[in-house]
Amino acid sequence: MALVMPQGVMARQSPEDVQGVVGTIAAQQLPNEAQQTLDRIESGGPFPYEKDGSRFGNYEHSLPQQPRGYYREYTVKNSDSRNRGAKRIVCGGDQRAANDCYYTEDHYNSFKRITK
């Protein structure tokens, strides 16, 4: 049985319904560098990389479906200063609230929802 939604209305997905979200991680359990990135997000910066705060398209549908522009991505600083590495935090909605955030260690292949 297919679910038909009126045009312009999206069905709500919980993070558990999305293939790319594999559990949760408490903010206090994040690696130190990721905790620092989350703190920067909540305080509005400054961010060490030019691309921090740019739109995350969610093209692979790894995160719950949201309107375009909902998600923003931030680099979790690594020891190799020559590249950004694979670790990111992606947050949706009000960025400074950091209430809808996800952590990836493998460059968007899988995510854990960050809980506070």
Q: Mind telling me the catalytic residues?
A: 73, 107
Compute the distance between CA of residue 58 and CA of residue 100 in angstroms, rounded to an integer: 14
Provide the edge-to-edge strand list for the sheet that holds 54-55.
Answer: 21-26, 111-115, 100-104, 88-92, 71-75, 54-55
Q: Closest by alpha carbon to 68, among 78, 60, 58? A: 58
Cβ count near 75 (within 10 Å): 21
E strand or H helix at 21: strand 21-26
